[in-house]
Amino acid sequence: MKQINWGIIGCGNVTEKKSGPAFNKVEGSRLVAVMRRDGAQAADYARRHGVPRWYDKAEELIRDPEVNAVYVATPPSSHAAYAIAAMRAGKAVYVEKPMARTWAECREMNKVAEETGMPLFVAYYRRHLPGFLKVKEWLEAGRIGKPRMVSVRLLLPPRPEDLDRDHLPWRVKPEIAGAGYFYDLASHTLDILDYFFGPIEIKEIQSVVKNMAGLYDAEDTVLAHFNFASGVAGEGMWHFAAAIPDKTDTITIYGSEGSIRYSTFEVIPVRLVTEKGEELYHYKNPENIQYNLIRSIVETLQGKTGACPSTGLTAARTNRVLEEIVRPYYKDDEVMKR
């Protein structure tokens, strides 16, 4: 493909700044159509963003002959259906994270990608952000010697919308999201660790998964131990009903000669500590945070040098890890059994 003409299925909040505008900023890329079930909102989005066409049915956008790549930005429960339909229609697909509700859905998406020959990418955009690339650079340069352990801490207070049982966000509804905030947020952390250290050994995962605050039915607390195929040991603590003073977002990688500390969601300096002292890496993210990854996808579709690092194959590994970690809590869930 020389010109990538995008259509967005689900032009909600994530597309307003994080992703949507980036499609028109990358050379050889253009956003030509958007879809939302509420036609008035789809029309409003198209007007505000200068998009030529809008639809209120996904199948109509997928049939649009000018669209040759589809970005699926709906909640996870519909990722598989829309991505599969688009690939069967001969369109390349870029899907929001997590890739789907279940590992089974991810496998089906990858099966269709292989059958149709259509490229499948997933929005784990941290693989192309400067702070995380610096961590990878330091690791590959041996700045902390041999990596041995990684420790994850993400403690967040409840969001205001979590306190209204009658109007809970979809992110804490497992039938839509796959699980709770763990799938929405820990997926970014576990994916970038996969980028650094390779796959996590599924058989070596141990976890404790609970609902401690009772604000909703999904899990709000996860403790996990895991090991990477590369030999690095990992452990994590995720709590989404923490006291405000306990808010924490840190990942620390310990090596034989030092450590690296960074944050998944906060834009703070990446910190390297060795016997030689401390080194800080300051950085800024692009205005549209998915821009770098979207550029990589466009260049991959155009056959340029390099390849997008976030594909259906890498993202499915993250879904499998997420699923294995929360399995004790959802062991009787019919969707999870698929």
Sign of CA dihedral 52, 53, 59, 64: negative
Please state which of the four CATH numbers 3.40.1390.10, 3.40.50.720, 3.30.360.10, 3.30.420.10 is assigned to the domain occupying 130-284. 3.30.360.10
DSSP annotation of 141 = T
pLDDT digits (tens, 9 = 90+) for 143-153: 999 999 999 99
Provide the residue type at 71 as one letter.
Y
pLDDT, position 305: 73
Under CATH, domain 4-126+290-309 is a member of which superfamily?
NAD(P)-binding Rossmann-like Domain (3.40.50.720)
Closest CA to 139 of 27, 40, 51, 258: 258
CA distances from 33 to 29, 68, 118, 301 (A): 13, 11, 20, 19
Full-prediction pTM beyond 0.85?
Answer: yes
- Interhelix angle 79-88/103-116, rounded to 10 degrees, is 10
The token pair at 295 is 């550029």
Task: Report domain extents, the chain.
Answer: 4-126+290-309, 130-284
Q: Exposure pattern of 54-82 as b/e (b: 16+ CB <10 Å)?
A: bbeebeebbebeebbbbbbbbbbbbbbbb
What is the pLDDT tens value at each position of the chain, 338 positions in all?
A: 789 999 999 999 999 999 999 999 999 999 999 999 999 999 999 999 999 999 999 999 999 999 999 999 999 999 999 999 999 999 999 999 999 999 999 999 999 999 999 999 999 999 999 999 999 999 999 999 999 999 999 999 999 999 999 999 999 999 999 999 999 999 999 999 999 999 999 999 999 999 999 999 999 999 999 999 999 999 999 999 999 999 999 999 999 999 999 999 999 999 999 999 999 999 999 999 999 999 999 999 999 978 999 999 999 999 999 999 999 999 876 555 54
pLDDT, position 333: 67
- Give me the sheet containing 69-72, strands edge to edge: 53-55, 29-35, 4-9, 69-72, 92-95, 120-122
Residues 6+ apart with CB under 8 A from 128: 292, 293, 295, 296, 309, 310
pLDDT digits (tens, 9 = 90+) for 291-304: 999 999 999 999 99
pLDDT, position 107: 98
pLDDT digits (tens, 9 = 90+) for 61-103: 999 999 999 999 999 999 999 999 999 999 999 999 999 999 9
